[in-house]
Amino acid sequence: MTQVLRTVGAYRSWRKESVGTASLGFIPTMGGLHAGHLDLVKRALAENERVAVSIFLNRTQFNKQEDFDKYPAVFAEDLQALEALGVDAVFAPEYDDMYPDDYRYKVSESQLSAELEGEHRPGHFDGVLTVVMKLLVVGDATRAYFGEKDWQQLQLVKGMVNAFFLPVEIVACPTIREASGLAMSSRNRRLSPEGLQQAARFNQILNTAENEAAAMAELKAAGFEPEYVADRGDRRLGAVVLEGVRLIDNVERKVAR
């Protein structure tokens, strides 16, 4: 039976009494769970004696109110999926409990967070890093699981854990995709059936375009509003808007450099 813990205090009591010295896997989420999240949960269940999932729709990381309002809030559905997998606890606090300071205190990074997603979503990574810091401190887990779909987020979280000596192992998990290649995302629910089909081109173009400029042009021609495509080391990262829905993805670079 999955315990639902609504406050930091309730989580901490559960952590002390029901986990103790057992290994604990922790998966931070904002809800709207899809197969990508469930894959993180399955991996955590295989690698730890106890598993907790947080469901907290973190408003500080949304730079557009509209985006926050449209995020799928489907707690009962999420809980059912987690119970079916055998998750031990779901931590689902309210804003006031997570932000007793009303977001006066922030964690920020000054280089990578200003680029790509950070450039297009001002303040986004301050919100992400601040809430992940809170979740990792409260979560007090052996391992925390993050998807590679949010590549920049993953690098920033790893950097923060190193910078602040947080005693948790960050486990990176490969992006889970639809058969079409489209990366799983809670936002995909907002696309029409035609949009879902068209969205598959995003991943294909990232994989095959000759260079950043060619990818931008091909995405535009395929009906997307591309925000950026950037080649960084062995990754190609991109963000597009389709039917008013913002999608991000990243792929291993296969083209000649």
Active centre residues (catalytic): 37
126 counts as binding ligand PAF under rule CB under 6 A: no
User: Which one, of 100, 138, 169, lies nearest residue 14 by Cα?
Assistant: 138
- Residue 69 tokens read as 């309002």
Candidate residues 40, 131, 141, 183; the one interacting with ligand PAF per rule CB under 6 A: 131
The four Cα atoms 197, 202, 204, 205 give a dihedral, to 10 degrees, of 140
Q: Measured between alpha carbons, how far is residue 132 from residues 54, 210, 241 in Å?
A: 11, 36, 26
Closest contact distance (angstroms) between CB of 66 and ligand PAF is 18
136 counts as binding ligand PAF under rule CB under 6 A: no
Please give the Cα distance from 115 to 128 (Å, whole number): 15
Size of the site for ligand PAF (CB under 6 A): 10
Closest contact distance (angstroms) between CB of 128 and ligand PAF is 5
Residue 76 main-chain phi, psi, to 5 deg: -60, -40
Residue 173 main-chain phi, psi, to 5 deg: -120, 135
Q: Is 207 exposed, middle or buried (0-12, 13-18, 19+ CB in 10 A)?
A: middle
Strand duo 89-91 + 3-5: pairing: parallel
Which residue lies nearer to ligand PAF by CB, 62 or 198?
A: 62
> What are the residues whose beta carbons fall under 8 Å from the beta carbon of 133, sequence distance 6 or more?
107, 160, 164, 166
Which residue lies nearer to ligand PAF by CB, 149 or 201?
A: 149
Could you tell me which stretch among 71-79, 102-110, 128-136, 239-247 binds ligand PAF (CB under 6 A)? 128-136
**Contact map string, positions 140 to 159, toward ligand PAF, x by CB under 6 A:** ----------x--x------
Candidate residues 11, 15, 29, 161; the one interacting with ligand PAF per rule CB under 6 A: 29
Which residue lies nearer to ligand PAF by CB, 150 or 218?
A: 150
List, in sequence order, every residue forming a beta bridge with 241; answer none if it has no partner.
225, 246
Candidate residues 2, 48, 58, 130; the one interacting with ligand PAF per rule CB under 6 A: 58
28 counts as binding ligand PAF under rule CB under 6 A: yes
User: Which one, of 8, 4, 26, 22, lies nearest residue 157 by Cα?
Assistant: 26
**Contact map string, positions 69 to 108, toward ligand PAF, x by CB under 6 A:** ----------------------------------------
Could you tell me which stretch among 4-12, 23-31, 67-75, 236-244 binds ligand PAF (CB under 6 A)? 23-31
Binding residues for ligand PAF (CB under 6 A): 28-30, 58, 61, 128, 131-132, 150, 153
